[in-house]
Structure 1
Amino acid sequence: MSLNATDSMNILYAVEECCFIAHELSSTLVLHQDSYRTICLIVTTHSRWMSIWKYMVLPFRRKDKDEEKTVNDEDEDINALLNTDSQDNSISREDPPEPTTDEERLHAISDMVIQTCMDIRRGENVLIVCDPTTAEIGQSLHIATQKRSERVLLVVMPKSRHHGEEPPTPVAALMRQQQVVIAATKYSLTHTKAVRQALKDGARIATMPGMNFELYTEGGMTADFQDVKRRISNITNFLRRRRIINVKSESGTDITFEVNWRDWKLDDNGICNRPRMLTNLPAGKVFILPKEGTMNGTIVIDGSWDSTLIDEPVELIVEDGTVVDVKGGSLAATIRQSYGEVAKKLKAKDRESVWTVAEFGFGMNPSARLVGNVLEDEKRMGSCYFSIGDNSLLGGSSHAGIHVSGVIAEPTVWLDDTCLTESGEFMANEN
């Protein structure tokens, strides 16, 4: 290949311009609005332009006659413009100091999510989804991901109205094109068609609904997820061949239902490193689809509902797997209203499905606390939870478009004739 002086300078000017654009984008958020609903914040890196500069431009660069030849033929102006990444990459790897400031703790957790939980590899396509309430966390995850892969996209979408609402169509389309999706949003995307389709297409996905700075940097997110994985793995034998579950509590819960013991989900352990894997973060729960039509009794939610610590317990009356009445104070009225609004959007024959008892599970994360956010509360050792609404992700028949969980703080749970927890004390051997 040979280039004349004019062609050589044209390449030089083009690459200089690209490098400048890349530099500007590295510190600037580029907004794109689609259908008045979706705002994409696309942040790019400039390392690819450094490669173009080094291998395509420098060999053809004109030099003055009196210019000395150096071993490293580099352009000082471009290096001054693009020096941040090269400096970072030259730092030797040492054990990082213990984070002390809020910003350091934020970035330390993001590094753990990217390196340990998701195990992102070089060159993987990564999509980070957040909304205005979680933009700080989304940006931190983006920074952490750039240390592993250059192919990372950060999208800020409008805040959803409730758990299980579908993301805007452009976001759903992007999710299908990724190898890794991390969704830190106010309301959960876990039980959506968008997530199901992305999983089917091979993505591995972590969702973090209701996440905020305090939840992100303390409690369940600080757990050793390799230890959580071990605990969950070791409880497998305890669950084998047990099909009748009974849950009671001092606040009035008394509910019985059947399960198919082979359907226990044991992979919510914080390690999401293979295609088609799905996890919540913080992770650490074991859960299952109650056999449809078999649940009868009373569930009293006394720990938390969604993102609310319970002041006055909420009583759910269940017949044949469906909630037929909700009793309690103002929170009970809010639950009836929110589920009623979702039901109105469904066909008449499907409206009852919003009240399906969709999921039962118990916590296995020793660092998780009861803080008034179900994302962490349901992972707390000794607690259990029930979810109401969409169960299609677990193989059920309810496609309700809503999925909300309520936590029982100190339950007694029996599997057949064996005690799992007694008044909130974990009895099964998970060591």
Structure 2
Amino acid sequence: MIEITNTMPLGIKQLLTSVTDLKEGEKVLIITDDNKREIGEFVYKYVKEYFDTTMIVMSTREGHGAEPPDMVRAAMENCDVAFGATSYSMYHSKARLETSKKGRLRWVGLQDYALHMFESGGLTADFNEVRRVIDRVSEYYQGKTFTLTTPGGTNMTCSIEGRKPVFDYGTSRTPGSASFPPNAEVALGPVEGTANGVLVFDGSIPHPLLNLLNEPITCKVEDGIITEITGGKEAEILQKILAEFNDPTVYNVAELGLGLNDQNYLCGHMAPDEGSFGNIHIGIGKNLNFGGHVDSPLHMDLVMKTVTIDIDGVTIMEEGLLKV
């Protein structure tokens, strides 16, 4: 690993060291778009001082999981580390999934970033300690029946039988790995068609039209599908976003992602919100990355606070506090 000696924001230094373990001679790609060009250029300014670095600017995609242009995909296949400094997440895109499977690329999603995130918050975490916490929790984060409740009114159960935990340590140190720091989580994919109950989102929905929520959004879930969305103005915005896809798969309950980076806090940006300790995000739409078979045009995460999680009678977390 190259010794980083110049003055730079701690978050940038973490990206080049603790997060990616970049080494001399490796090639770096920065992907950005029209709406996040400030972030892409900020990262490029520092990375190019140490590594062979290329930056590509593309038009802003239509949503999380949308595919990049073919030229971007080709560039992803010819680099060692790619930073996705974009408006929407590319993590669940086929381009990212298939390129990572080829075994060279280390993917780091910087979607929905703001400049303050390079100075304080989750990027300042001890990522080795975060990994230890995730590994410990993951031993318990599996089983048959998952029950989720919150003081805000959530009460949902689903089957997780046969589904194995998926980790995001917030680091991409080995070929084929992918992360979006400072998010750090352990996640499960509910078995399709088994989720039932009520989900009340009172944290955030990382989307340019929503982000930090001013009032709760209540979703009724029947047989794995969100069938009703109620609340105020923000609930109406969510309804419209999903309806415009004109695709029933976007309502699929796809992910149970438990945030485990204790330096994160809810701030209206995707990575810190989803990785905030004691909160959970429910992913909807595409679940291919979680052992499922729903290939939706969307993967969107919705965050709720202060969760209680029970798996097969074992309390994993109680009102935001770890019990394992």
Q: TM-score, normalised by structure 1?
A: 0.70
Q: Which residue of 1 aligns with 2:236?
A: 333
Q: Which residue of 1 aligns with 2:75?
A: 174
Q: Which residue of 2 aligns with 1:358?
A: 254
Q: Which residue of 2 aligns with 1:275?
A: 175
Runs of 4+ in 1 over 6 A off after TM superposition: 93-96
CA 1:94 to 1:353, structure 2 compared with 1: closer, same or farther past 3 Å? closer
Task: Establish whether residue 191 from structure 1 lines up as the match of residue 92 from structure 2.
Answer: yes
Contact 2:183/2:273, CA 8 A, preserved across alignment: no
**Paired amino acid for 1:185:** T
CA drift at 1:177: 2.4
Q: Which residue of 2 aligns with 1:162?
A: 63
Between 251-260 and 122-131, the greater mean CA deviation after superposition: 122-131
The aligned runs of 1:3-402 (5 Å cut-off) are 104-105=8-9, 108-150=10-52, 152-202=53-103, 203-239=105-141, 242-260=143-161, 263-266=164-167, 268-307=168-207, 308-343=211-246, 351-402=247-298
Contact 1:374/1:406, CA 8 A, preserved across alignment: no
CA drift at 1:426: 2.5
CA 1:142 to 1:374, structure 2 compared with 1: closer, same or farther past 3 Å? closer
Contact 2:86/2:112, CA 8 A, preserved across alignment: yes
Contact 1:225/1:270, CA 8 A, preserved across alignment: yes
CA drift at 1:356: 0.7
**Paired amino acid for 2:275:** K
Which secondary structure state, in structure 1, belongs to the residue aligned with residue 256 of structure 2? strand
Which secondary structure state, in structure 2, belongs to the residue aligned with residue 255 of structure 1? strand
Which secondary structure state, in structure 2, belongs to the residue aligned with residue 405 of structure 1? strand
CA shift digits 1:244-288 (9 cap, x unpaired): 11111122111001114651012x112211111111111311111
Which secondary structure state, in structure 2, belongs to the residue aligned with residue 133 of structure 1? coil
Number of residue-to-residue matches in the alignment: 319
CA 1:363 to 1:144, structure 2 compared with 1: closer, same or farther past 3 Å? same
CA shift digits 1:87-145 (9 cap, x unpaired): xx9xxx7977xx7xxxx42xx32122012211122222321111233333323333443
CA drift at 1:200: 2.0
Contact 2:170/2:182, CA 8 A, preserved across alignment: yes
Higher relative contact order at CA 8 Å, sep ≥6: structure 1 or structure 2?
2
CA drift at 1:394: 2.4
Instruction: Give 5+ residue unaligned stretches, structure 2.
Output: none
- Measure, in 2, the Cα distance between the counterparts of 1:261 and 1:381: 26
Q: TM-score, normalised by structure 2?
A: 0.91
Q: Which residue of 2 aligns with 1:427?
A: 323
- Measure, in 1, the Cα distance between the counterparts of 2:163 and 2:196: 22
Coordinate RMSD, CA, aligned: 2.1
Contact 2:83/2:107, CA 8 A, preserved across alignment: yes
Structure with more of its chain in helix, by fraction? 1
Q: Which residue of 2 aligns with 1:55?
A: none
Which secondary structure state, in structure 1, belongs to the residue aligned with residue 249 of structure 2? helix
Structure with more of its chain in strand, by fraction? 2
Instruction: Give 5+ residue unaligned stretches, structure 1.
Output: 1-88, 344-350
- Measure, in 2, the Cα distance between the counterparts of 1:243 and 1:204: 32
